[in-house]
Amino acid sequence: MKPKLVVLSGAGVSAESGIATFRDAGGLWEGYDVMEVASIDGWYKNRKLVLDFYNMRRKQALSALPNDAHHIIAKLEEKFSVTVVTQNVDDLHEKAGSTKVVHLHGELFKSRSTVDINLVYPVQGWELNEGDTCERGSQLRPNIVWFGEAVPLMSEAAKIVSKADVFIVVGTSLQVYPAASLVDYVSDAAQQFVIDPQMPFIEKGNNMTLLETFATKGMREVAKLLDKIF
């Protein structure tokens, strides 16, 4: 049986594919106040603005390509049973070939009903507009977990993380909760790696390796270390 490897990935992984991160933009995404475009209050205040914002992000993501970090994570499936738990809403992990991806904060290329959260649909192309409705006639919204909303996949993610033999944190500042709390579920026996150019404060355990670098370089180093350990 293959060892279980879990990757917790954040915006720093997608940044090297040209997708802008919230952290690096001074609290703005492409010039937008995050609370105007990524909160339920923003949705009720200006639905068209929110839809246009995610249309722009979707159009950008369509042309983005996976980088070496994504490809290395996908290749790890040859030796490990890999689950990617990502805070990213893009599909770059899937494009690279990862087969088990849990999107904590939703998926950019899906929409959902505003009256029934179980009605989820793929977005064809990059546009989701006013007047696009679910089968119950309700306006569709981006299938994104906005600030102030519950993260429905947290319990599932915590169970996955608790069973990891190897746990890799890459491209996340560990400042966004509840996702950041997943590190608390990792077994002390697990091999742990944290990769980030601005290393978050984290209590270093005996089995933990800290790599203060970008996602692509860090994942190359981790892959070499794993070859020596397993």
**Residues known to be catalytic:** 105
Distance CA 184, CA 88 (A): 20
Long-range contacts of 153-156 (CB under 8 A, 24+ apart): 153/102, 153/103, 153/104, 154/104, 154/178, 154/179, 156/102
Residue 84 in 3-state DSSP? strand
Half-sphere exposure of 207 (CA within 13 A, CB side): 14
Match 């002390």 to its residue by tokens.
188
The amino acid that residue 72 corresponds to is I
The amino acid that residue 128 corresponds to is L
Distance CA 89, CA 32 (A): 17
H/E segment holding residue 192 = strand 191-195
Instruction: Collect all residues with Cβ–Cβ distance below 8 Å to 44 and sequence separation of at least 6.
Output: none
Question: Closest by alpha carbon to 166, among 190, 138, 189?
Answer: 190
Percent composition of the chain: helix, strand, coil (DSSP 3-state, to 5):
35, 25, 40
